[in-house]
């Protein structure tokens, strides 16, 4: 039986899962996995991962105490949520997980370093070594400088939102572990700019990653290249042989269902023969090249804005869920107290004689129509009334 494209790809490239969906990761068995604020926000809203959100909120409440404000608990849980997902992912995969620093720190070197140390500290407290975590940082000049210092401390970094050669060279010169050039987002920009479609071989995103890969291999950089943000499987097959490719579940499924020969397109020996000039990228050069590259300027700013919006959405989600959880807990406690007041004879049921409300409410609470109300029926009935009041 012939091998699938995914099986052939694994023989020449490390396949990484670009998702926070545990089930998808189990299905495709990648070595590594990447997450970002948008993926975490999407996963946090999936019913099957409600327990992850709830666990994170309850741990935050426990850490801060019952007197802490909900705002403080949400802030603590927000910082913890991506790590909670990361820890669950690391139970499935043998390799590394990438966890992203708050995008709102993208132009703040010191803030990025502090947050990265905090993230690594939480992983280490959970028994995870630094070698299994990549800290994702936006490829701004300030982010690259933060990554340089973190790498010197043994904290490995993944420079994300990378769209230009200037960012790639600066990151490699800083000694970062890995970069993530965004193939599909580059394609998006050019399609919008030109109004035309591109075949995979001429795809501007594919060409950008190919150029970066060749540059790194030509000049002996150890920084790994991980193509990311794919729009179609053709982009992936055109980059077969890249160090790593992080691929969304839908495209993993497509590759796993397709057969035919897969040619290696990127090869370190061939790249070493490429005719390229070595560039020195200091801050002035970085700023100049970034300003001249309108696509990179647009997409970096847009990416940071998008991740910031995803973070804000996640904060709002956590706030709503914490309110619900604590309202449910308060309702449970209050209902128990109320039940004890009504249950005069202490037999665990409220009879019509013990009930001080109207007959209509008693009949509505008496779900099994046995002429008495249990504690569970009282809680269910009051919970339904409160929910009805909230939505009407």
Distance CA 63, CA 373 (A): 37
Tokens 């990484």 map to which residue? 16
Range with the poorest average pLDDT among 87-101, 158-172, 264-278, 348-362:
348-362
Grade residue 337 by pLDDT with cuts at 50, 70 and 90: low
Phi, psi of 178 (to 5 degrees): -155, 150
In the chain, ranges of CATH 3.20.20.70 domains: 5-319
Quick one: 343-391 is in which CATH superfamily?
EF-hand (1.10.238.10)
**Taken in order 223, 218, 213, 300, is the CA torsion positive or negative?**
positive
Q: Which residue has the higher pLDDT, 57 or 109?
A: 109
CB atoms within 10 A of CB 114: 14
157, β-bridge pairs: 135
Q: What is the mean pLDDT of residues 269-276?
A: 92
Q: Are 336 and 375 in contact (CB under 8 A)?
A: yes
Q: What is the mean pLDDT of residues 1-10?
A: 93
pLDDT tens digits for range 137-171: 999 999 999 999 999 999 999 999 999 999 999 99
**Taken in order 305, 308, 310, 313, is the CA torsion positive or negative?**
negative
Residue 383's pLDDT is 54
Active site residue 63: no
Entry pTM: 0.81
Catalytic, out of 29, 63, 115, 136: 136
Distance CA 359, CA 372 (A): 12
Range with the poorest average pLDDT among 24-28, 39-43, 136-140:
39-43
Distance CA 99, CA 158 (A): 9
pLDDT tens digits for range 227-272: 999 999 999 999 999 999 999 999 999 999 999 999 999 999 999 8
CATH of 5-319, one of 3.40.50.800, 3.30.470.20, 2.130.10.10, 3.20.20.70: 3.20.20.70
Q: Are 315 and 73 in contact (CB under 8 A)?
A: no
Residue 332's pLDDT is 58
3-state SS of 58-121 is HHHHHHHCCCCCHHHHHHHHHHHHHHHHHHHHHCCCCCCEEEECCHHHCCCHHHHHHHHHHHHH
In the chain, ranges of CATH 1.10.238.10 domains: 343-391
């Amino acid at each position: 039986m012939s091998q699938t494209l995914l099986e052939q790809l694994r023989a020449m490239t490390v396949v990484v899962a670009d998702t926070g969906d545990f089930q998808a990761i189990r299905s495709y068995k990648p070595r590594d996995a990447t997450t970002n604020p948008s993926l975490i926000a999407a996963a946090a809203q999936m019913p099957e991962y409600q327990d992850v959100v709830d666990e994170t909120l309850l741990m935050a409440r426990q850490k801060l105490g019952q007197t802490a404000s909900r705002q403080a608990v949400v802030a603590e849980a927000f910082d913890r949520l991506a790590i909670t997902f990361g820890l669950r992912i690391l139970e499935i995969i043998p390799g590394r997980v990438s966890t992203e620093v708050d995008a709102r720190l993208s132009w703040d070197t010191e803030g990025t370093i502090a947050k990265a140390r905090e993230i690594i500290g939480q992983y280490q407290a959970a028994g995870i070594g630094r070698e299994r975590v990549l800290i994702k940082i936006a490829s701004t000049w300030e982010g690259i400088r933060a990554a340089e210092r973190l790498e010197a401390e043994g904290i490995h970094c993944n420079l994300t939102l990378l769209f230009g050669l200037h960012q790639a060279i600066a990151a490699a010169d800083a000694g970062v572990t890995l970069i993530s050039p965004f193939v599909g987002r580059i394609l998006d920009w050019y399609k919008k700019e030109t109004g035309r479609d591109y075949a995979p071989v001429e795809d501007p995103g594919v060409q950008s990653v190919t150029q970066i890969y060749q540059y790194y291999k030509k000049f002996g950089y150890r920084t790994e290249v991980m193509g990311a943000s794919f729009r179609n499987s053709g982009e992936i097959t055109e980059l077969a042989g890249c160090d790593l490719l992080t691929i969304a579940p839908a495209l993993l499924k497509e590759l796993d269902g397709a057969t035919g020969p897969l040619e290696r397109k990127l090869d370190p020996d061939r790249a070493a023969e490429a005719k390229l000039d070595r560039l020195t990228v200091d801050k002035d050069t970085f700023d100049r090249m970034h300003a001249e590259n309108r696509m990179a300027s647009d997409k970096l700013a847009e990416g940071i804005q998008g991740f910031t919006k995803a973070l804000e959405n996640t904060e709002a989600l956590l706030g709503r869920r914490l309110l619900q959880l604590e309202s449910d807990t308060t309702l449970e406690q209050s209902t128990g107290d109320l039940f004890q007041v009504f249950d005069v004879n202490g037999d665990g049921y409220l009879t019509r004689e013990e009930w001080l409300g109207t007959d209509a409410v008693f009949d509505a609470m008496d779900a099994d129509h046995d002429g008495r109300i249990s504690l569970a029926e009282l809680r269910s009935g009051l919970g339904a009334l409160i929910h009805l009041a909230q939505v009407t």
